[in-house]
Amino acid sequence: MSHDMAADVAVSMPDPLPNDRPSNQITNGVERNEDVNEPKPQIPRPKRPNFAQIHAKPLPLDVYPLPAFIPHNPLSLVRIAIALISQSFWPPSSQTVIHTGYFSKETQSVHVTDAQSIRALWEQGFFGKGSLSRSEPRWLDQEKRKRGLVASLTSEEATRLRREERRQFKLERARKEREAIEQQLREEGKPYPAIQDEEVSVESDLDKSQDSQLQASDERTEGVSPIPTSDSCVVADDNLRRELEEGKDISTQIAEEICQPDIQNQEHLQLTPEEAFFLAHATGALQVYRNNSVVPSSYLLRLFCTYSTFPFSEKAEAYMDTIYRLTELHGRNSIDFSETGAMAPDNPFILRYVVYLHFRSLGWVVRPGVKFAVDYLLYNRGPVFAHAEFAVIIIPSYSHQYWTETSERKAEVDKRQNRGWWWLHRINRVQTQVQKTLVLVYVEVPPPLDEEHRMFHKLNVGDVLQSYKVREFVVRRWTPNRNRD
């Protein structure tokens, strides 16, 4: 049911915006020469889709609340009773749909290729990122717009428009400033400086540099989408597509045909290892495939840990392959691997996942924050509703006595914990610039897992996760002059 809804929404996204908007914008800008300081005439913004309805579910799971009890309506009690009884005889599952994903070593992510799963995972909890989009998988819509077919304005386009608007505004402002100076010079009876003749000097130096920055960044933004279409990714994508097509049933094919009359969607959803592990291990709404079989959580944990450091350790890689083949051959619990390489307790994947799960379990929508120099961004409800308020940086903490028992260990730990203030200030400066609050999340690293955990088949994911402890500190700049009274 959720899928039908998702598909509907994707098809019926309104497009209230005329195509010729950019050109309008520019002519507007030229006509508004006289008064830059006046409030800009309100450009009719496209009506937003009903996000509250689209993203009603915070996780890709269904819930079955009891009907409301209305005191003055005794019949409501009957409804509750019916719901209770029917659900106890035929209990529905909260995991209505189990999505499938494929681990890709090359991109270190889990690919989801089914169109409905992509929509569902994005809409219900904002998981993943479109492989050809900035964030929400919108490649198809963009493509349709390019070819003049109906689709709504994508956020990438909105950004481009806004930048153009802003640029025009700045050119205007610079021109006004220059005119004021010219007027002043005329009043003082001085000749205009020579550079005034050039048409280019409209912009002041400051503006010029900022504009060139802006253009550069625009180019970069546009450059973002072509990058993943490099050959390797296309190949991977095709492979996935083939895999998908084998298992695809007719109904989805029909749904896709309705969705995409002529363009084939080249995009898939990529989940970060943390997102994939959360969906698989915590919610059970995702099954991750390696080749043709579903891998269990304990294997997945090891797999993600192995690929979380770069370059990958070849030995660990080979080991993961061996385990995989052996489990295929012998079934899961019958082999004893005493030779397993120990998982480092401060493996980046585990640290990241512990923090990810911590904030997810409190209800935050956690998204990667590499563009803001941090590990995660915390959204309230989701990125379509509001900007992220908090930016999270993960710092491993080695306060367990194991780490200071010997002097070599202590030296090693001191080295790992040595972070300069310049590092912190850099990050914090970025956060103040984008009006976010920096949160330092210290993850207490336990001593290495004991022997029994090293054995692969006994790896207790819950125990591993619960041996870590998180603690948050909020960091802000403090300015004496603004806190005096």
Partner 1 sequence: MADYDENLSHLRGPSAADIDLDDETQDFRFLSNLPTHDVKDLTLPKRGDKDFESHATSLQLSTLEASRQAMHNALSWPRIHTQKTHLLATYHPESNMAYVKKAKTQHFQTLGHFKAGKNWLLPEEALFMIERGSMDCRWPVQVEEGRTDIIVYDGQEENERGVPMSLQGAYAAFIGFEGGVGGKLTLEMYTVYAGLKRAGFIVFRAGDWDDERLPIQYNEQDARDGDKVKSGNWAFGFVAEIWRRLSRKETEVPADRLKCGPLLGSGLYRSYADIYRLLQVIPTRDRNAPPELILPPDCSNPFRITFDVYKTAGAGKFKKSTRGPPDYRIAVVNARETPVPTMAQLNDLLATTPYDPPNPNGNLYQKLRHGSRNVILAVVDNGIPSYIRVGDTPFTDEKLYKRLGRGPPRGKKSGRGRGRGRGG
Q: Does 351 bind partner 1 (CB under 8 A)?
A: no
Task: Give the x/- contact pattern for partner 1 in 240-279, rule: CB under 8 A.
Answer: ----------------------------------------
Nearer to partner 1, 119 or 138 (CB): 138
- Identify residue 462 by its one-letter amino acid code: G
Instruction: Tell which positions 359-378 bind partner 1, by CB under 8 A.
Output: 359-364, 367, 369, 371-372, 377
Residues belonging to the active site: 379, 387, 436
Q: Does 86 bind partner 1 (CB under 8 A)?
A: no
Q: Does 426 bind partner 1 (CB under 8 A)?
A: no
Q: Does 320 bind partner 1 (CB under 8 A)?
A: no
Q: Does 45 bind partner 1 (CB under 8 A)?
A: yes
Tell me the backbone φ, ψ of residue 393, rounded to 5 degrees: -120, 135
Minimum Å distance from CB 230 to partner 1?
20
**H or E segment to which residue 89 belongs:** helix 75-89
Judged by CB under 8 A, the residue of 9, 149, 185, 240 near partner 1 is: 185
| C-alpha to C-alpha distances, 420 to 408, 423, 441, nearest whole angstrom | 22, 5, 17
Q: Does 1 bind partner 1 (CB under 8 A)?
A: no
350-377 as b/e, with b when 16 or more CB fall inside 10 Å? bbbbbbbbbbbeeebbbbbbeebbbbbb
| C-alpha to C-alpha distances, 355 to 89, 122, 246, 284, 442, nearest whole angstrom | 38, 21, 37, 19, 9
Nearer to partner 1, 69 or 473 (CB): 473
Q: Does 455 bind partner 1 (CB under 8 A)?
A: no
Minimum Å distance from CB 327 to partner 1?
14
First-to-last C-alpha distance (Å) of the chain: 57
Q: Does 434 bind partner 1 (CB under 8 A)?
A: yes
Q: Does 145 bind partner 1 (CB under 8 A)?
A: no
Rounded to the nearest 10 degrees, the angle between the axes of helix 115-123 and helix 2-11 is 90
Judged by CB under 8 A, the residue of 50, 92, 146, 412 near partner 1 is: 92
| Of 465, 412, 472, the residue nearest 442 (C-alpha) | 472
Q: For residue 135, with 0-12 CB atoms within 10 Å meaning exposed, 13-18 middle and 19 or more buried, which class applies?
A: middle
Residue 283 per-residue DSSP state: I
Q: Does 442 bind partner 1 (CB under 8 A)?
A: yes
Total residues binding partner 1 (CB under 8 A):
125
Residue 80 per-residue DSSP state: H
Minimum Å distance from CB 478 to partner 1?
4
